[in-house]
Amino acid sequence: MLTGLDHLVVTVTDIGRAVDFYSRVLGLDVRYRDAQRVDLMLGDTALRLHQTDTDIEPISATPTPGSLDLCLRCQLPLDEFKQHLDVLGIEVELGPVARQGANGAIESVYLRDPDGNLLEICRPAR
């Protein structure tokens, strides 16, 4: 019946700040749909940014910046990814640590975006 995820809406306080973080820090490609609608591309899936003070409808019942807990796959070894974060001055909250992903064992590091959303960056465990 269902085949995958097309997009996930991320509620943010400032689209420009979120675009900078997700493109510069995480390397996501940016697609501007219009001034209020921005997609951050993960392959054929998008993180769609909605700013809190816009009137895009429909929206979730309680759109709240900082309430997301998201795990993203990384192609780099996590030690290299952590070095990239260090160069940019981005704090790693935890990791690398062993976790269980959707398809088996993973190794993860945790950080936060500018709105406080928890981002888990993972790779398959060795």
Q: What is the rounded distance in angstroms from the CA atom of residue 120 to the CA atom of residue 48? A: 18
Q: Where is 119: in which H helix or E strand?
A: strand 118-124
Residue in this structure with the two tokens 């709105």, named with its chain if needed: 115
DSSP annotation of 114 reads T
Q: Which among 57, 80, 107, 120 is annotated as catalytic? A: 120
Q: What is the rounded distance in angstroms from the CA atom of residue 45 to the CA atom of residue 8? A: 8
Q: What residues contact residue 55 under an 8 Å CB cut-off, 6+ apart? A: none
Q: What residues contact residue 18 under an 8 Å CB cut-off, 6+ apart? A: 10, 12, 38, 49, 113, 114, 115
Annotated catalytic residue 120:
yes
Active site residues: 120
